[in-house]
Structure 1
Amino acid sequence: MQFSAREDIEAPINSVFEMVADFDRFERMAMRRGIDVRRVTQDIPPVAGTTWDTEFKLRGKARQMTVVMTDCERPAQMRFEANSKGMAGVTTIDLLALSQRRTRLSVDMSLSAKSLPARLLLQSMKLGQARFRKQFQLRLAEFARELEQRYKHGA
């Protein structure tokens, strides 16, 4: 199952990359949502090979997932691979400078099942695929507006 979305941001590519790579902020946001996040490697700034162990509840069950940044090309791309007991995912974040003050943020996410229960979960997600895609796009749009505001107030 794949999701893709993109948004244009009124900020220079280097600033957008720095805000997207602010993993301390994302870790705190995840913890506020009840996700236990622990960075295994303490690379600062995070580089390819940076790893996080996470634990969260999904459909009433505790789940563990390991996330590894497999690629980091400043300021153009980051790639993450996530693995859990039954599912794997790849997320690619691409940044493209449209002008000196405008950047296109593209996020591609793919999920694949490694077990029968995970296949059933993905199948149920596919039934609501249009809703998931719309929600994915809306969340990315909100994130893009937040980045613009952070840039305007910090620049």
Structure 2
Amino acid sequence: MDFSLSKEIDAPAAFVFQAVTDYERFETAAIARGVKVHRRGAQSDAAAGPIWDIRFLFHGKSLDLTLEVTDLVAPDHLVMAIAAKSFKGRAMCQLSPGETEVTEMTLSFMFEGQTLSGRLFLKALEVTKATMEQKIAKRMADFAQETESDYRTTV
């Protein structure tokens, strides 16, 4: 299962990249939503490939994931490997600077089942793909608005 979403942000790519790699901000937001988050290694080591163990409820079932930053090129992109018991995947955040101080942020997700239950789980997710995309688009819009606001306070 693959999908991709884009959003324009009124801020330079370097500033947006800094916001994208503000891991503590995302950890705090996830914890506020009831997600259990544990980062392995040093909190300040952004470029060394941080790894997170994550647990949350998904449709009433506990889902355990491991996220690992596998590729980080400032201010171009960030790639994370996603691993669960029955599936694996990849999430990529690509930043494309525009002519002015506008940056297009594209989030891409690719998942593949490792087991029969993983393939069935991903097939079930495909049924709700439109709803998932709407929720992610809303979170991207919130992120863009916060980032634009933060940028305006710095200039």
Task: Give the TM-score, by structure 2 length.
Answer: 0.90
For residue 139 of structure 1, what is the aligned residue in structure 2?
139
Deviation at 1:95, TM superposition (A): 0.8
The 8 Å contact of residues 77 and 93 in structure 1, kept in 2 or not, is answered as yes
Structure 2 matches for 1:8-47, cutoff 5 A?
Answer: 8-42=8-42, 44-47=44-47
Q: Please give the secondary structure, in 1, of the residue aligned with 2:110.
A: strand
Q: Please give the secondary structure, in 1, of the residue aligned with 2:98.
A: strand
Q: 2-side partners of 1:22 and 1:38: how far apart?
A: 15
Structure 2 matches for 1:5-154, cutoff 5 A?
Answer: 5-42=5-42, 44-154=44-154
Report the count of equivalent residues. Answer: 155
Q: 1-side partners of 2:143 and 2:30: how far apart?
A: 14
The 8 Å contact of residues 54 and 66 in structure 1, kept in 2 or not, is answered as yes
Deviation at 1:109, TM superposition (A): 0.7
Q: Alpha-carbon deviations, 1:73-129, whole Å to 9, x = none?
A: 011110000101012120011111113411111111111111222222211221233
RMSD (CA atoms): 1.7
The 8 Å contact of residues 93 and 108 in structure 1, kept in 2 or not, is answered as yes
Deviation at 1:6, TM superposition (A): 0.9
Stretch moving more, 116-125 or 88-97: 116-125
Q: 2-side partners of 1:2 and 1:49: how far apart?
A: 23
